Structures are given as structure tokens and as C-alpha cells.
């Protein structure tokens, strides 16, 4: 049997990693958020096959699971890029120029907020606060904070990542 990188058996459709996540929790609807969080941590997003398995396991409709996923900005239905870049557009950052940083990022990568580049290398997200207002404006790359950001600083980081 051949397995892909997330422990799914391609021939039988069995996903051992997902089964292990579900086994941690009782079949109680109240566990939905925790299960979604674990799935998001494992895959980097919440794939459709996982939504279907959760629906069956917790005996709740797919529509309800989809509603929860799309309500919370923490969850995503699309895989993020190898380099996930988040620009803070909260008040402190925005008044210090984070809008220009976001515009430049979209221009350089040719994608918009919430998208991933075709090669899977970059994804962009807008966030409201990363708790570094004293360093405004800020952006993060895979969780690493870059403060006192400028368009030039962004360009330098992108050049290093490419």
C-alpha cells in the first residue's frame, strides 16, 4: 500500500492521522472546535475529507461544520503556502502604513488576501493584531514578527525567500 505525506492510504481511502485525532475525543458535538483545531494543526487547513469524517463521527451536518470553519478566522479551507505572510491591518499598524505593505505584497506575489500562489510557495492573510503595536506596522512570515516594517523591508524579505 502507498501512503501519502499525511498518512492517507490512497488505495483504501483510510486516513490514519485523522482517525488518531478523532479517537482523542468523545463523540460529542461540544468537541467540534477542538477537533477542527487539531485537524488545522495537522494539515495546515481543513480538507473536505476531514470535514466529512468529522460530520460522520460527531453526527452533525456538514453545513454546520462549514459554518463553524468559515465563522472563525483561525480556520481555513485552503492550504497555506510554504511562506505564510500575515500583515497586521489593526488600527496602530494601519495608521503607520500597513495598507501600503499589503498593497506591495499583493503586487509582488500576484495574489490577494486569502490566496496562495500557484506554486504553493506564498500565501497572504490580513490580521487585526499580533500584539506588537509598539513595533507598528508589522507583518509576520510563518509566525516570525517583522516590526517597524516598510515596503523596502518587505521587498528585502521577499527577495530572500524567493
Residue 5 has what pLDDT? Answer: 40
C-alpha cell at 25: 475525543
CA 29 to chain centre: 23
Closest CA to 41 of 27, 63, 25, 21: 21
Four-CA torsion 148, 149, 151, 153, nearest 10 degrees: 100
Residue 15 has what pLDDT? Answer: 84
C-alpha cell at 41: 494543526
**Average pLDDT of span 4-21:** 63
Residue 89 has what pLDDT? Answer: 96
Round the average pLDDT of the chain to a whole number and report it: 90
Report residue 161's pLDDT band, with 50, 70 and 90 as the boundaries: very high
Residue carrying C-alpha cell 528585502? 156
List the single range of 28-37, 57-66, 123-132 with lowest mean pLDDT: 123-132
Q: Say which residues have a Cβ less than 8 Å from residue 61's Cβ, sequence separation at least 6.
A: 55
Residue 12 has what pLDDT? Answer: 39
More confident residue, 115 or 14: 115
Residue 7 has what pLDDT? Answer: 47
Q: For 52-101, how does the pLDDT look when each residue is reduced to its tens digit (9 = 90+)? A: 999 999 999 999 999 999 998 789 898 889 999 999 999 999 999 999 99
pTM of full prediction above 0.85? no
Residue 14 has what pLDDT? Answer: 61
More confident residue, 13 or 17: 17
Amino acid at each position: 500500500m502507498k501512503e501519502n505525506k499525511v498518512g492517507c492510504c490512497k488505495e483504501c481511502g483510510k486516513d490514519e492521522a485523522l482517525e488518531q485525532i478523532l479517537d482523542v475525543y468523545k463523540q460529542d458535538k461540544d468537541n467540534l472546535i477542538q477537533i477542527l483545531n487539531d485537524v488545522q494543526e495537522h494539515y495546515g487547513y481543513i480538507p473536505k475529507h476531514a470535514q466529512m469524517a468529522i460530520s460522520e463521527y460527531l453526527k452533525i451536518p456538514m453545513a454546520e461544520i462549514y459554518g463553524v470553519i468559515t465563522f472563525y478566522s483561525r480556520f481555513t479551507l485552503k492550504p497555506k503556502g510554504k511562506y505564510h505572510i500575515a500583515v497586521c491591518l489593526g488600527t496602530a499598524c494601519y495608521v503607520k502604513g500597513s495598507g501600503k505593505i499589503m498593497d506591495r505584497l499583493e503586487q509582488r506575489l500576484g495574489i490577494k488576501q486569502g490566496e496562495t500562489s500557484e506554486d504553493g510557495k506564498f500565501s497572504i492573510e490580513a490580521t487585526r493584531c499580533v500584539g506588537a503595536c509598539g513595533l507598528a506596522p508589522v507583518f509576520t512570515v510563518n509566525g516570525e514578527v517583522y516590526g517597524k516594517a516598510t515596503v523596502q523591508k518587505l521587498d528585502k524579505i521577499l527577495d530572500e525567500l524567493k
